Amino acid sequence: MAEQARILVVDDDESIRKTLVTILEERGYAVDTAKNGKEAIERTETGFYNLLLIDIRLPDTEGTKLLTALKETTPRMIKIIMTGYPSLQNAIEAVNKEADAYMLKPLNMNEVLYIIREQLKRQKEAMKYSEEKVAEFIKTRVRELDAEKNMALTKTR
């Protein structure tokens, strides 16, 4: 991993937070935690995260409501819902609120690591594509401006 991906774990269960921090840090990720939605919002406002792991049931909000709030402020951040209370309703709601993945507790750590790797790979590819598009736009615009400048110089002669 060339750049260290930053992950925020949002869960009210301290043992889950500690376990995820230990495992993810061992894999080279920079990990912070939040025990509720309010803390998660504060952390994302003051720092950049590539990915969030969000429990669907938090003491102060539903994880799906947190998805909506974070989508507005950090649309490119990967958001993964975790739940120990799976239901068709909350799975559909997570998809409708544009969660990037949905994982069931108890967490299978191999699955967690695989999903994180794949999501970060997708994010990196999307960012590269965006950068290429911006570079292409700039090159095109520079050529247009050069052509306009040359036309203006030709007219003044």
pLDDT in tens, 19-52: 999 999 999 999 999 999 999 999 999 999 999 9
Residue 68 lies in a domain: yes
pLDDT higher than threshold 60 for residue 65: yes
pTM over 0.85: no
pLDDT higher than threshold 50 for residue 96: yes
131-146: pLDDT as tens digits:
676 777 787 788 788 8
Residue 139 lies in a domain: no
Residue 99 lies in a domain: yes
The Cα-based distances of 115 to 2, 43, 91, 130 in angstroms read: 19, 23, 17, 22
Measured CA to CA, the distance from residue 116 to residue 25 in angstroms comes to 13
Domain interval for residue 20: 6-126
Q: Structurally, how many domains does the chain consist of?
A: 1
CB 65 within 8 A of CB 94: no
CATH code assigned at 83: 3.40.50.2300
pLDDT higher than threshold 70 for residue 130: no
